[in-house]
Amino acid sequence: MVEKFHAELKGLKKKVLEMGELAKDMLQKSIEALKNQDTELADWVLSKKKEIMDMDEGIEQRALTLLTLYQPMAKDMRTIACILKMITYLTRIGRYGKDIANVAKELSMRPHIAKLVSIPYMADIVCGMIEDALKAFETEDLSLIQDFVERDDSLDALRYSIFRECVTYMMEDPKNIKRCAHYIMIARYLERCGDHACKIAEKVHYMVTGERVEIK
């Protein structure tokens, strides 16, 4: 009975990692689509909306079934609790990728302003955080997430920098207003995805140690 439970829990963790990779890919490729004005890649991101929603529902159902059938304790219980939180954060990351993909399609016909300001750099930081949070979940190596406070602070600074720069471009030429308004919103989306990576890291820390931390 115990061996069967742990086999099923291992399989569930694998599905969470697959979902995490999909969420990260949706975000990463949405930024690539925006940067390269690639509408086909944007359409790929949009096509994954149902898949990530189905993964969310399927993993939740499997996790609740494990809770009901086996009534796990201690770390096993924390692992399932972590999974139930993680899938919500991952779904939201995927949805932000979808939103950015829609913007990428809308902005595909005219050249970018200032090479997208610092948005690609900001996206690299966010995707790195998501990747490290997922690795920490898989390996229980908490050193992967120990600098998340500093990385989150960098994202906050970049968001405000992008905002200030975009306001300058909008004041210089009203024709820049629509495009820069989208840039400001995308920076906000990326900041929120970084926040979700921090929340995943918090849950992973609790899963491994039984201690709650706050990353902000």
What domains does the chain contain, in order, with CATH numbers? 2-209 (1.20.58.220)
> 89 to each of 39, 70, 108, 130, how far by Cα in Å?
26, 25, 29, 10
Q: Is 133 exposed, middle or buried (0-12, 13-18, 19+ CB in 10 A)?
A: buried
Q: Give tens-digit pLDDT for 88-102.
A: 999 999 999 999 999
Q: Give tens-digit pLDDT for 8-51.
A: 999 999 999 999 999 999 999 999 999 999 999 999 999 999 99
Whole-prediction pTM: 0.96
CB atoms within 10 A of CB 164: 11
CB atoms within 10 A of CB 14: 11
- As given in the structure block, the two tokens for residue 163 are 């905002």
- As given in the structure block, the two tokens for residue 185 are 């919103």
For the chain, what percentages of helix, strand and coil (3-state, to nearest 5) are there?
85, 0, 15
Give residue 2's pLDDT band: very low, low, confident or very high (50, 70, 90). confident
Whole-number pLDDT of residue 66: 96
Whole-number pLDDT of residue 114: 87
Instruction: Return the CA Rg of the chain.
Output: 19
Q: Give tens-digit pLDDT for 178-206.
A: 999 999 999 999 999 999 999 999 999 99
In whole angstroms, what is the distance from residue 82 CA to residue 200 CA? 8
Q: How far is CA 145 from the centre of its chain?
A: 15
Bigger pLDDT: 110 vs 182: 182
Whole-number pLDDT of residue 216: 76
**Pair 102, 46: CB distance under 8 Å:** yes
**Pair 132, 64: CB distance under 8 Å:** no
CB atoms within 10 A of CB 160: 12
- As given in the structure block, the two tokens for residue 167 are 């306001």
**Pair 123, 28: CB distance under 8 Å:** yes
Whole-number pLDDT of residue 95: 98
CB atoms within 10 A of CB 125: 18
